[in-house]
Amino acid sequence: MTTIVFIQPDGTRREVDAKAGESGMQAAVRAGVDGIVGECGGACMCATCHVQVSEADDARIGPREAIEEEMLESVLDDVSPASRLSCQIKLRPDLEGLVLNVVEVV
């Protein structure tokens, strides 16, 4: 189990215990976290799981795969280095305490 934290745009903080092998999006949808929809089921085709992360957490997650990069570029005018698709974040024990900042659904 890996505990991750979702922070809403208004600052509301919610801790979620992720199951082994879950993505950030799956953990959020299972827990009913507002603002994470996961419309495409994690196929990297919707960006309704968009989150932002700190530089330190981005380094812990690892670099974006090309498919994540392409999806972000197709829906965002300005892709911040902090932007990630939570369906592409596979939760591992070393990501304990990961903070995912929820952004408006695009």
Positions touching ligand FES (CB under 6 A) are: 25, 38-40, 42, 44-49, 71, 85, 87
C-alpha span between 97 and 80 (Å, rounded): 22
With CB atoms as reference, the residue minimizing the distance to ligand FES is 87
Q: Which is nearer to ligand FES, 39 or 58 (CB)?
A: 39
| Smallest distance from ligand FES to CB 46, Å | 3
Q: Which is nearer to ligand FES, 11 or 65 (CB)?
A: 65
- Centre a 10 Å sphere on the Cβ of residue 77 and count the other Cβ atoms it contains: 6
| Helical segments of the chain, H only | 24-31, 55-61, 66-75
